[in-house]
Amino acid sequence: MAFDVSTFKSNLFSDSNYGGARPSLFTILINDSATTSTFSATETVLVKAAAIPSANIAPLPINYAGRAYKLTGFRTYDNWTCTILNDESFSIRNKIMNWMYLLAGGADGTRSVTAGVTNSTGDATITQIGVDGSERQAWKMHNLWPTELGEIPLDWSNDAVEEYTVSWAYDYWSHGETTEDPEGEVDPEGGADGTD
């Protein structure tokens, strides 16, 4: 078969007029259940990078007659990490620090009705945007909370905007086609299309 660029390009993304999904086209919403640490609309723009969450089912090996047979084990969810641009008011970083104080008490270990309340979780929704500006897919992480707030390097020779990473723990994620319906295609009772 002769090499044909036109055939290659027409078949590469045959279900789309715009080409493949682009990693630079996304939105992220992060909400605290208490709303005190929820990112505002202007703050979410500062979430520079993240990842669509992974899905893992651990193999459960059973040995029999000199062989290991793998059954399906627990479903697990890795921590999710995002990169945030730092504004001069440290608005997002301060919200995350306050969220962590709320979860685990003050930095010196003090606890009160406003510090150490371990059930203050939230959620995050990642939406993949198409080249045409429409929402294509959405993933919502449930019972989410910050587990690690990264450092911010300082350097006299660096003339870039500061950024840092945040790692989040969560219980599970659901998936749908829009931000408003991030659970539309996952049925916890069985069928992947919302049917039994």
Distances (CA, A) of 162 to 39, 48, 69, 154: 18, 11, 49, 8
- Note whether residue 184 is domain-resident: no
Query: Can you tell me the distance from the alpha carbon of 196 to that of 186, in angstroms, rounded to the nearest whole number?
Result: 11
Predicted confidence (pLDDT) at residue 118 exceeds the cutoff of 80: no
- Note whether residue 183 is domain-resident: no
- Note whether residue 13 is domain-resident: no
- Note whether residue 88 is domain-resident: yes
The count of domains in the chain is: 1
- Note whether residue 193 is domain-resident: no
Predicted confidence (pLDDT) at residue 87 exceeds the cutoff of 80: yes
Residue 28 structural domain? 20-176
Q: What is the CATH number of the domain that holds 133?
A: 2.30.110
User: 9-61: per-residue pLDDT in tens?
Assistant: 777 766 666 678 889 999 999 998 877 788 888 888 899 999 999 989 999 99
The pTM of this model reads 0.80
